[in-house]
Amino acid sequence: MSLGDSAVHGHVMSGRSETGEPRAGLLSKAFVVLAFLNFLVGASLGGWMASDPSLWGYVSPIHGELNPFGFLSLLIYGMTYAVLQMLAGLTPPKAWIGVLHVFVAECGVVVVVIALLGVKSLLLPGLALQTLAPIVFLVNILSAVTAKRRGAAAQNNPEEHRYLPTQASTSPLLSRHPLLRPTDKIAQRGTDVSLMLFIVGCIWLFVLSARYGEGLMQAWDGPHSAGFLLVAYGWIAGTVLAVSLHLFPRFLGSDKFSAKSASVGQIAWGIGVVVAVVGVVSHSGTTMFVGDRLLGLSILWFSVVFLRALWTSPRRTSSGLTSRMHAGMAAQLAWSSAWLFFLALGVSLIVGLPPTSIPALHMLFLGFSASLVYGVGYALFPRLFGRRDPHAAIAVAQVIVAVLGALLMVTAFILQLYGVMGGSSTDLLMVGGICAATAAVVFLLTWPMVGRR
């Protein structure tokens, strides 16, 4: 391969624009697109199920599979590849491993959904693929790091030049910076721990399904709940928090985030997840009590840290790095709503709401994670994917409808959990489900419509 060919290859893999601004490569784009397609299906099923509660027993297992594994997990894969590319210039050197990762991750979701539709013999193969996906992800990341470490030798060898990772961005927002290094280090530790917990959780779910033959959603309160704790709070909550520690100091300014505060919250989160899982496995009520409350305290801690950063006045750091990236009203509204949902989740766990209950999971997935995705999407997707900014009024309306839908659904689930307002809670659930599904569709349709920059 010639040096000229290498340059073309690097441009394709890195997705850099002609101006040098980094854009997401094909691998991250593939994951993001698949994630939102899964989200569209899952949200539509959720709205359908909410409008007709008689469908709950049949549709809820599929809805429960698509949200954590089809939407959030694939989105995390895609955003992680994009963030590593922007901040560290890391690009996986072997394209076929990336293709394998996309195939394994999405096929795992599809096969499990088919199994839940009635082809039960496909459950274990689907779970096996879901277990393999994070392992392939780990291999891909390690190979990118290894390729970068041998970059010095490759600089002098044209045949090895194609393995060089793309250069990181020179933009203060999208690059490494001395002021951002402390929180970046903590964020990296969080992603590493979260991925390990996810692998353990997937293995746990696979082994128990193989041993007992239990379906996924029939085991929320059984031994499988340890696996769901690892997936929901170890992987999804942990990784979303880690990515937030990467991005929000760049959005809002490094002066608004203390590495010590972030580290305290992360340590409490990690211990809380492990103790809660040990409590489930050992059937110890006391251990579960301690783990759930510690997990709730860590969530409460992070919520206060991020809300304080969002709501304090902008200023400039001593280095001259702008403290606050320009973000529209839609992004600000979505971010504030997300962290308020996370705050409510933390308080709810502290006062005794089970972490794998339906209200808690909807606060985590729909109220927190989805709202945060909307906000980050409006702020970052134009840069990542070279799209124009959506119309401000439409974006704000979309966020309001999404937040209203999540709030109504969480309220309805809490009322149902405690046996309050039976018929009225069903109506709230129906309206909330329709709002959440509509908001998801509007968000997805926004990006093809706005056009490229």
DSSP labels for 329-347?
Answer: HHHHHHHHHHHHHHHHHHH
Locus of tokens 């968000």: 443
Residue (of 347, 348, 338, 344) closest to 403 by Cα position: 338
CA–CA distance, 158 with 358 (Å, rounded to integer): 55
User: Lowest-confidence range among 32-36, 329-333, 379-383?
Assistant: 379-383
Mean pLDDT of 178-183: 81
Q: Which residues touch 11 (CB under 8 Å, ≥6 apart)?
A: none
Tens digits of residue pLDDT in 412-442: 889 888 877 666 777 888 888 889 889 988 9
The Cα–Cα gap between 391 and 401 comes to 16
Cα 33 to Cα 377: distance, rounded to the nearest angstrom = 13
CB-based contacts of 153, cutoff 8 Å, min separation 6? 160
Task: Give CA–CA dist 351/62, Å, rounded.
Answer: 30
CA pair distance 272, 289, nearest whole angstrom: 10
Average pLDDT over residues 277-281: 91
Higher pLDDT, 136 or 320: 136
pLDDT at position 444, please?
86
Q: Which pLDDT score is estimated for 200?
A: 92
Q: How far apart are CA 38 and CA 148, in angstroms?
A: 33
Backbone angles phi, psi at 2, to 5 degrees: -80, 165
Tabulate helix, strand, coil % of the chain (nearest 5): 80, 0, 20
Q: Choose between 131 and 315: higher pLDDT.
A: 131
Q: What is the pLDDT of residue 423?
A: 63
Structure tokens at 216: 């996924």
Per-residue exposure over 250-263, b if at least 16 CB sit within 10 Å of its own CB, e if not: bbbbbbbbebebbb
Percentage of the residues of the chain whose pLDDT score is greater than 90: 37
The residue whose two tokens read 């990542």 is 384
Residue 355: pLDDT band with limits 50, 70, 90: very high
Contact (Cβ atoms closer than 8 angstroms) between residue 42 and residue 74: no
Q: For the packed helices 422-450 and 371-385, what is the interaxial angle rounded to 10 degrees?
A: 10
Does 155 or 275 have the greater pLDDT score?
Answer: 275
Please state, in angstroms and rounded to a whole number, the distance separating the CA atoms of residues 411 and 350: 18
CA distance 197 to 129: 17
User: Which of these ranges, 17-31, 56-70, 259-273, 360-374, has the smallest mean pLDDT?
Assistant: 17-31
Cα separation of 333 and 124, whole Å? 41
**Confidence band (pLDDT; 50, 70, 90) for 249?**
confident
Taking the model in full, what pTM does it have? 0.85
For 300, what's the count of Cα atoms within 13 Å in the CB-facing half-sphere?
Answer: 14
pLDDT > 60? residue 362: yes
pLDDT at position 425 is: 74
What is the average pLDDT score of the chain? Answer: 80
